[in-house]
């Protein structure tokens, strides 16, 4: 049994850090995805929701050092791409009814529901969809997929593990300086 667990861990670790299967294209036309990808590997300085990059993510939403930062990370990514919204450090706020979509795609925000908290309590951005799996980029996670992690990681998740999807790119989202 221990051998099976070790092999499963090795497989998941290797798969979670690949952007796709051999021969797959991971290129997205979405700058949001490229910005999120550029942050993969960022780590907290001391494991206490801190560090130069983490504190920049938190500051993008008005949160202070030490606060959970998965939603703040996404807000920072959108801000870097020139979007005025979302601006929140509260993951459930990323899924208002007007932004919800059913189909996962690169650049779409996803939320994971935690029954113990009775709410969405972790989020990420979709990098790529492969069949029933998404490659997501998530802040404040770890290789095990925790919502209280230590960095920005690429994670492989089954679509059934995702509770909600939200589109903050289209659906009337405006970039700074847009006149539409």
CATH number, domain containing residue 62: 3.90.1720.10
46 backbone dihedrals φ, ψ, rounded to 5°: -125, 5
Looking at residue 9, what is its pLDDT? 44
**In the sheet that 109-114 helps form, which strands lie side by side, from edge to edge?**
100-101, 164-166, 109-114, 119-130, 133-141, 151-158
Looking at residue 177, what is its pLDDT? 57
Instruction: Answer whether residue 12 is part of any domain.
Output: no
Q: Tell me what the mean pLDDT of segment 164-177 comes to.
A: 75
Q: Is residue 121 scored above 90 in pLDDT?
A: yes
Q: How many CA atoms lie within 13 A of 113 on its CB side?
A: 11
Tokens of 64: 């202070």
Q: Tell me what the mean pLDDT of segment 88-106 comes to.
A: 97
Instruction: Answer whether residue 142 is part of any domain.
Output: yes
Provide the pLDDT confidence category of residue 11 given band limits of 50, 70 and 90.
very low
Looking at residue 176, what is its pLDDT? 56
Q: How many domains does the chain have?
A: 1
Instruction: Answer whether residue 110 is part of any domain.
Output: yes
> DSSP code of 38?
H
Lowest average pLDDT, out of 15-19, 29-33, 55-59, 75-79, goes to: 15-19
Instruction: Answer whether residue 2 is part of any domain.
Output: no
Q: Tell me what the mean pLDDT of segment 150-164 comes to.
A: 97
Q: Tell me what the mean pLDDT of segment 17-33 comes to.
A: 55
Looking at residue 119, what is its pLDDT? 98
Looking at residue 17, what is its pLDDT? 44
Looking at residue 20, what is its pLDDT? 44
Q: Tell me what the mean pLDDT of segment 36-65 comes to.
A: 97
Instruction: Answer whether residue 122 is part of any domain.
Output: yes
Instruction: Answer whether residue 95 is part of any domain.
Output: yes
Instruction: Answer whether residue 152 is part of any domain.
Output: yes
Domain that residue 129 falls in:
28-166
Q: Tell me what the mean pLDDT of segment 99-107 comes to.
A: 97
Q: Is residue 10 scored above 90 in pLDDT?
A: no
Q: Tell me what the mean pLDDT of segment 148-152 comes to.
A: 93
Instruction: Answer whether residue 180 is part of any domain.
Output: no
């Amino acid at each position: 049994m221990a051998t099976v667990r070790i092999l499963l861990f090795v497989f998941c670790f290797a798969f979670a850090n690949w952007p796709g299967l051999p021969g797959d294209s991971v290129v997205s036309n979405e700058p949001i995805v490229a910005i999120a990808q550029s942050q993969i590997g960022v780590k907290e300085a001391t494991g206490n929701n801190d560090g130069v990059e983490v504190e920049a993510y938190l500051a993008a939403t008005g949160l202070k050092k030490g606060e959970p930062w998965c939603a703040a990370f996404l807000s920072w990514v959108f801000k870097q791409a020139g979007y005025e919204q979302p601006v929140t450090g509260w993951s459930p706020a990323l899924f208002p009814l007007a932004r919800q979509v059913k189909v996962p795609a690169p650049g779409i925000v996803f939320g994971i529901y935690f029954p113990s908290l009775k709410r969405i309590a972790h989020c990420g951005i979709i990098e790529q969809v492969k069949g029933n799996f998404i490659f997501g980029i998530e802040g404040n996670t770890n290789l095990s997929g925790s919502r209280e992690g230590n960095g920005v990681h690429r994670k492989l998740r089954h679509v059934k593990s995702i509770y909600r999807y939200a589109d903050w790119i289209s659906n009337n989202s405006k970039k700074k300086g847009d006149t539409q």
